[in-house]
Amino acid sequence: MTDHTFSPEDKDRIAAAIAEAESKTAGEIYVVIAHTSDEIRSIPVIWAACAALLLPWPLHLLTSLSTTTILVLQAVVFVGATLIMSHPSIRHHVVPNAIAAERTRRQAYEQFLAHGVHLTEARTGVLIYVTPRDRRVEIVADVGIHSKVGEAAWEDLAQEITVAARAGQLVDGMLNAIRKAGALLAQHFPPSERNPNELSDRMVEI
């Protein structure tokens, strides 16, 4: 998998879509793109250790290699496998899906709090968190809107972005999800008379 570079035009389109969606609701939409993720660095080491531990058995049973040679090969396999699987382009492939999903969820909540999405007046902030490198998406909705919409709707929007990313259409997927998130917000929180813009419409890249 490869990362995605957002052009100035992409960023403008996303900001415009957020502004358009928010013009019809009292809710707020905030987008964070994570190009660097908090990879679980111990996972490659664990896989390398397992490979190194298993290696001596077939060598001992099926070859005439000396114990010293086998131990040297074991060390070489451990170091080599650790280095290879720790490479950024490979590391996320060896992390089990459940662990990777939980990591993305945790990072999304951290960004939700760090950017004050939980501080909107009516608690109607929605964070769209995207990691282009591993094409994972997490949508975090504050209690005001989440209690009315429910988890399934946000999961559907996240899946829509993921499918678009796999087809090489990440920006289009995000634009569609932003419009749909705005529609969900508008159903339950129509714009107020003054309708202040509480969060920036510009997406954040980290």
- pLDDT of amino acid 20: 96
What integer best gives the mean pLDDT of the chain?
91
- pLDDT of amino acid 186: 94
Looking at residue 201, the DSSP 8-state letter turns out to be S
Q: Is the pLDDT of residue 172 over 90?
A: yes
Distances (CA, A) of 28 to 10, 149, 199: 20, 15, 7
Could you tell me where the DSSP H helices lie in 63-96? 67-85, 88-94
Q: Tell me the sheet residues that pair with 126.
A: 29, 141
φ and ψ at residue 2, rounded to 5 degrees: -120, 155
Q: What residue has token string 């996303």?
A: 14
- pLDDT of amino acid 170: 94
| Angle in degrees, CA 182, 6, 96, rounded to 5 | 80
The model's pTM: 0.77
Tell me: the pLDDT tens digits for 145-159? 888 888 899 999 999
What percent of the chain is modeled with pLDDT above 90? 71
Tell me: the pLDDT tens digits for 182-202? 999 999 999 888 888 999 999
Distance, CA of 71 to CA of 60 (rounded, Å): 10
The answer for residues whose C-beta is within 8 angstroms of residue 119's C-beta and 6 or more apart is: 125, 198
The answer for residues whose C-beta is within 8 angstroms of residue 19's C-beta and 6 or more apart is: 197, 201
- pLDDT of amino acid 178: 97
| The 125-131 sheet, strands edge to edge | 136-141, 125-131, 28-33, 204-205
Domains within the chain, CATH numbers bracketed: 8-38+96-205 (3.10.310.50), 42-94 (no CATH)
Q: Is the pLDDT of residue 1 over 50?
A: no
Query: What residue type is 82 in one-letter code?
Result: T
The answer to whether 26 touches 124, Cβ cutoff 8 Å, is yes
What percent of the chain is modeled with pLDDT above 70? 97
Q: What residue has token string 């960004």?
A: 111
Query: What residue type is 191 in one-letter code?
Result: P
Q: Tell me the sheet residues that pair with 29.
A: 126
Tell me: the pLDDT tens digits for 73-121? 999 999 999 999 888 778 777 888 888 888 889 999 999 999 999 999 8
Tokens read off for 192: 């107020």
